[in-house]
Structure 1
Amino acid sequence: MDASELAIGAIILSQTIIGILANFSLFYHHMFLYLTRNRLRSTDWVLMHLIVGNILTVLFHGIPQTMAAFGLKDFLNDVGCKLIFSFRRIGRGVCIGSTSFLSVFQAIMISPRDSRYSELKVKMHKCIGYFVYLNWVTHFIISSINLVHMRAKYSNESTTNLKSFIYCYAVRHDLTSDILYAALVSGPDILLLGLMLYASGFMVLTLYRHKQKMQQMPGINVSSKSSPASRATKTILLLVSTFVSFYTFSSLCQLLGTIMYNLGWFLTNVAAVFSLFFPTVCPFLLMSNDSRASSFCLPLKWNIFPKSLAKS
């Protein structure tokens, strides 16, 4: 194992460990609030699904990728390959769906009273749960494709018709079939990403107009400390920008992997690093705005993550 392989393996291992600890800690915090019947915010249910999506991504992407990066490549059978790639796809879809719903929900909540979206404020509280569960069902159906096409490395099937993913194989198709498959898998993600970007742009514009309006009103002292709604909006915007940045790089690597017949070791592991970055950082971005989570997860927040981000 050369230095580059060891470095990539160490990066993926650190992302996996931090991601598991942070997401399980935050999930335990939300479950504690739910079981003790404390007041839950409207977005808490969406956050719980986002955290579960992060956990699925870290467990079913980070752990096998770490094992493969350190040289252990023949550790799965056919069932293991099918399940790992299916749950990885589900976790990725739940992450993008939950992040999109959070941005749309927050955009509607901070919309002005005279906005065309203001009448959706009451309905959104009732409908957001249905959207979240629909997102789960959609990505369960899409991920079922992996149950058919994934194979173990030591399968008796000839490898001439298989595409290597380091520790598993996928059935090769012609270029047209691969493009159709990529379109099917990416379709819901593109739709959710478009909603996320539209809602984020609307939030930025709303915050800017509100700030300009407050500054122009005489006799009103604009406090340097943001309101809770403004802080929540900025946290979601930071969450969205982080997700979009690394999701774009990860998607480009996966698109190349879908079209190319032979995936290199470097491309596969770089895609894994980009895919694991958001599930690793996401809990700390959420804790930075939630005082309940900050006090509950304080030891984890200060011992693992940089203090500069913890204070943001």
Structure 2
Amino acid sequence: MLSLKNVYFFQAGIGILANAFLLLFHIFNIYQNHRPKPTDLTTCHLAFVHIVMLLTALDTLSADMFMSLNFPNDFKCKALLYMSRVMRGLSICTTCLLSIIQVITISPSTFCLSRFKHKLTNYVSYAFFCFWSLNLSSNSNMIIYTVAHSNMTNLFNINMYCSLSSMKPIIMEIFLTLALSQNVVFVGIMLLSSAYMVIFLSSHERRSEYLHSTSITPRTSPAKRATQTVLLLVSFFVIMYCLDIIISSFSTIFGKYDPVIWDVQRLVVNVYAMASPLVFISSDKRIIGIFQKHD
């Protein structure tokens, strides 16, 4: 699986560089304007989450880093898997928040959520606090039950280094229910917001056709362009999330670590973290203008 691992390291490298560029661009933009937009804050947060997510997923580099600090193997497993799960949860939450912000931004004054439009920046800060609190607590079982590989039986292998020790059925059901309900709620909100944005784009397209019929040249508005970007991101995320569930189901059914399934799952999980900054960069006129000036 050497070639697949090379693809994975290439994917992680591109994703880290793209997210780092996006993060620095938005930090500089926020520092210049002093009045950050909700989308800038959310994109900045998403880029940071994806950088940490990609770094913690690099098993070899992460293991070497903890080895150089002489941390015990159990601590390395607990730290890496806990951070990985928390970042994946934050990625879902932040993408969901981005879709909600876009729905509120494009909605008319009669829409039920329009009253939040003028204080979105404050609400985004509160949302970040809630997301971090939720994911840090809901994944706390990884700290307690993750162990390094040993000769013990009744361990469920997670990857080539770490396993989950057995836990009481009631505790397992609580954490599984919490994780499943959290994902269902956020993915469901994404789908609902996507449906609203599709309706908005369809009605906007009909108005554009009418303007075109009256000899007025239609132009793509910033709101429509931003809505298309968010819609593309949400659609891509849902597809990758469904693929991840399918692959994870195979691992659960087999009940043991399989290097092929693990490598494929790592590729699928991190595709969104790599692709999302590229979508933002290619659709942001401010960034495109920077590259055009240096041509």
Q: Same fold (TM over 0.5)?
A: yes
Shift of 1:225: 3.4
Q: Distance in 2 between matches of 1:43 and 1:262?
A: 41
Contact 1:53 1:90 (8 Å CA) reproduced: no
**Equivalent runs, 1:212-231 vs 2, <5 Å:** 212-216=206-210, 220-221=214-215, 223-231=217-225
Q: Which residue of 1 aligns with 2:17?
A: 21
Q: Deviations over 1:106-151 (max 9, x none)?
A: 0121113333333332344432221122111100112221111111
Instruction: Say if 2:226 is the partner of 1:232.
Output: yes
TM-score by length of 1: 0.82
Contact 1:33 1:39 (8 Å CA) reproduced: no
Instruction: Say if 2:98 is the partner of 1:102.
Output: yes
Greater alpha carbon shift after TM alignment, 240-249 vs 106-115: 106-115
Instruction: Say if 2:278 is the partner of 1:284.
Output: yes
**Equivalent runs, 1:1-312 vs 2, <5 Å:** 5-37=1-33, 40-61=36-57, 63-64=58-59, 77-153=73-149, 155=150, 158-164=151-157, 165-173=159-167, 178=172, 180-216=174-210, 220-221=214-215, 223-258=217-252, 260-296=254-290, 298=291
Shift of 1:269: 1.4
Gaps of 5+ in 2: 64-70
Per residue, is there more helix in 1 or in 2?
Answer: 2
What secondary structure does 2:219 align onto?
A: coil
Q: Distance in 2 between matches of 1:283 and 1:15?
A: 13
Contact 1:86 1:146 (8 Å CA) reproduced: yes
Contact 1:24 1:55 (8 Å CA) reproduced: yes
What secondary structure does 2:164 align onto?
A: strand
The two structures, once aligned, show a CA RMSD in angstroms of: 2.7
Gaps of 5+ in 1: 69-74, 303-312
Q: Distance in 2 between matches of 1:222 and 1:83?
A: 59
Contact 2:49 2:91 (8 Å CA) reproduced: yes
Contact 1:19 1:55 (8 Å CA) reproduced: yes
Percent of counterpart pairs with the same letter?
28
Q: Distance in 2 between matches of 1:7 and 1:122?
A: 50
Q: Deviations over 1:69-88 (max 9, x none)?
A: xxxxxx97111110100110
Contact 2:15 2:275 (8 Å CA) reproduced: yes
Query: Does the C-alpha gap of structure 1 residues 47 and 235 become closer, same or farther in structure 2, counting only changes over 3 Å?
Result: same
Contact 1:20 1:55 (8 Å CA) reproduced: yes
Q: Distance in 1 between matches of 2:89 and 2:83?
A: 10
Q: Distance in 2 between matches of 1:294 and 1:179?
A: 48
Q: Distance in 1 between matches of 2:109 and 2:215?
A: 22
Query: Does the C-alpha gap of structure 1 residues 162 and 47 become closer, same or farther in structure 2, counting only changes over 3 Å?
Result: same
Q: Distance in 2 between matches of 1:265 and 1:176?
A: 30
